Amino acid sequence: MAVDIGGSGFMGLAFETVVGTYVPPTKFFPILGETMQFMPNNTFRRPIRQTVDQIGMVPGNVNTQGTVTMEALDDVLVYWLYAMRMGIVKTGSTNFTYTCTPVQGLTPTKTLSLTIVRAGTAFGFVGCVVSKLTLSIQNGILQADMDVIGLNEASAVMPTATYTGNMPPYGPGQWNVQIPTATQVFDMDTFSFSIDEKAAAQYRLKNTGANQGRGAQFVAFAERTIQMTASRDFIDRTDYNNFQANVSQGITIAALSGANNGITFSIPNAFKSTYDVPLGQQGNLVRANITYDTTVDATGKACQLIVQTQEVIT
């Protein structure tokens, strides 16, 4: 019996030309974990027929879903942002800046084909979009979690992985935190920023084959929620009083590596929805645990992400 050696798996992705049609990977990158699954919604029949047992099964609609976890690398993150409701503007000729702004609509900018190799076997997932993106601090490193929903699973040929352009992850000594925006602070040690598109697979009646025909027709996005949680040192009541008075403030957090690589996200209108200052034991630091909810600004923008990288992504 063959035994798979731990760590032998890998992952790649590619933009699809035709939604739901598998494309071999054009970008490979290291991941921390993934849970992509084929999700059938089968019906087991138990009509009244003088039997206590199920008498059959009818194959139901299917889709794929799971979470991909990776270090937030600037040369990879933009691929995932394209699979959301994002208006993306690329500027630059060698060092590129991708300015990503959430937009209205029900469909993503692009769909992805994901290829995952597990135990020496290739798995293909098509029509994939990002339902929720979360950027957070884990062990001092910026981490990205993508909740993915896809249309179906497809046959994939075993690819040969080639890794190019992957930067080291963003970690200690690379942070610029501004609360409010343009005022740098040094009292935050962790945060979690999320864009939740609340996507759901959509099925339609069709006749395209017993297997492929069961896949979702498309994935629709619903009302979007953008939220951030953070832990800060509690210095005085000024920020807490603003919480009570429902005062909004801008927030900007940047992870920077030199002049040409970085991941920055900003929220123009952040309202504190919870502000918890727990009572600790003698000698404990006094911390504030805060949840920020967002609203759009005068231009209709609820947040913005700016990714600086040398990766050419179109």
CB 72, CB 307: distance < 8 Å? no
Q: What is the pLDDT of residue 209?
A: 63
Q: What is the pLDDT of residue 210?
A: 56
**DSSP 8-state symbol, 187:** -
Q: Which residue has the tokens 């494309």?
A: 23
Q: What is the pLDDT of residue 208?
A: 67
Q: What is the pLDDT of residue 9?
A: 84
CB 303, CB 226: distance < 8 Å? yes
Q: Which amino acid is at 4?
A: D
**Would you list the domain boundaries of the chain?**
10-39+61-309
Q: What is the pLDDT of residue 1?
A: 45
Instruction: Give the separation between CA 46 and CA 79, rounded to whole angstroms.
Output: 45
Sites in the chain below the pLDDT cut of 50: 1
Q: What is the pLDDT of residue 168?
A: 87
User: What contacts 244, CB < 8 A, 6 or more positions away?
Assistant: none
Q: Which region holds residue 96: left if phi is over 0, alpha if psi is between -120 and 50, else beta?
A: beta
Q: Which amino acid is at 3?
A: V
Instruction: Give the separation between CA 109 and CA 129, rounded to whole angstroms.
Output: 9
